[in-house]
């Protein structure tokens, strides 16, 4: 059975930590940031954790 190819769209958007958690960036960070509060902008800079079964699916698609 052949190996599954890495889904490049997923691998460009997600990162796996050393412990195996899947991290993603936030949406709504491209333009019009001045309309958002400083607290919101600061929190949008940080990566978010992908929850539960979604993380398993993304890990499989990334091939890791």
The SS3 of residue 64 is coil
pLDDT in tens, 4-59: 899 999 999 999 999 999 999 999 999 999 999 999 999 999 999 999 999 999 99
Strands 14-16 and 48-49: unpaired
CA atoms within 13 A on the CB side of 16: 15
What secondary structure, in 3-state letters, does 3-59 show? CCCCCHHHHHHEEECCCCCEEECCCCCCCCHHHCCHHHHHHHHCCEECCHHHHHHHH
Reported pTM: 0.83
pLDDT-based confidence at residue 3 (cuts at 50, 70, 90)? confident
Which fold is adopted by the domain 8-62?
Factor Xa Inhibitor (4.10.410)
pLDDT-based confidence at residue 62 (cuts at 50, 70, 90)? very high
């Amino acid at each position: 059975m052949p190996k599954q190819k890495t889904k490049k769209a997923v691998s460009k958007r997600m990162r796996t930590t050393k412990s195996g958690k899947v991290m993603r960036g936030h949406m709504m960070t491209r333009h019009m940031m001045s309309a958002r509060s400083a607290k919101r902008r600061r929190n949008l800079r940080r990566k978010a954790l992908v929850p539960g079964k979604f993380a398993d699916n993304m890990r499989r698609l990334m091939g890791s």
